Amino acid sequence: MSVNENEKIRPVIERCEDKMKKAIEHLTHEFERVKAGKAHAHTLDPVKVESYGSLVPLNQVANIAIPEPRMIVITPWDKTQTKNIEKGIINANLGFNPINDGNVVRVQIPALTEETRKDLVKNVKKEGENTKITIRNSRKDTNSELDKMVKEGVSENRRDIEKDNVQKLTDKYIKEVDILVTSKEKEIMTI
């Protein structure tokens, strides 16, 4: 195993693992946005509020609190913004009906029906499968790069060892996807 081989192979394997990690991060972020009938800190992330002539994220104009499992309370830093916050929540098309009392805006998270829960689980599984495809594509691309390296002086034996390592990475991240999907499914189906 030469130093030259290591210098060629290490960045390829690191890029592969980085792509797989990013796929998991994306999946985690997507799952945070899935409403499971409970208030969550990221539930209102898509909301943009008009503030002094420009659209800004909700968390830049107000404090967001979750005093109850199905209630979000938004307290604007400037009380004149309550109408804009209410309008922003409605325009975000999240299916919420905000209640504005002039001081705070309350968002009641509706309970999910059994049918809605099953649809959410179906979407979660689909998102998980898409992430697995991304991970497998990363494996495929990396293996192709490793095959090309044989022509550049990397031994076939070393290539085969690295392909095994790439497969181990793939298995690790696929298992992580399965754990995330199962956990989110359980969260959604728990009433």
Assign domain 3-34+113-189 to its CATH superfamily.
Ribosome-recycling factor (1.10.132.20)
Q: What is the pLDDT of residue 1?
A: 47
* Residue scoring higher pLDDT (178 or 80): 178
Phi, psi dihedrals of residue 104, rounded to the nearest 5°: -135, 160
Average pLDDT for 123-140: 96
pLDDT class for 144, splitting at 50, 70, 90? Answer: very high
**Angle (deg, nearest 10), helices 3-33 and 114-151:** 170
The angle subtended at Cα 174 by Cα 164 and Cα 128, nearest 5°, is 150
- pLDDT tens figures, 9-56: 899 999 999 999 999 999 998 887 776 667 777 788 888 999 888 899
Tokens of 10: 């290490």
Q: Inform me whether the pLDDT recorded for 95 exceeds 90.
A: no
Residue 73 is classified by DSSP as E
Q: Inform me whether the pLDDT recorded for 3 exceeds 60.
A: no
Q: CATH assignment of 48-108, given 3.30.1360.40, 1.10.760.10, 3.40.50.620, 3.40.50.980? A: 3.30.1360.40
Is residue 27 within 8 Å of residue 135, measured between CB atoms? no
Sorted by where each begins, the domain ranges of the chain are 3-34+113-189, 48-108
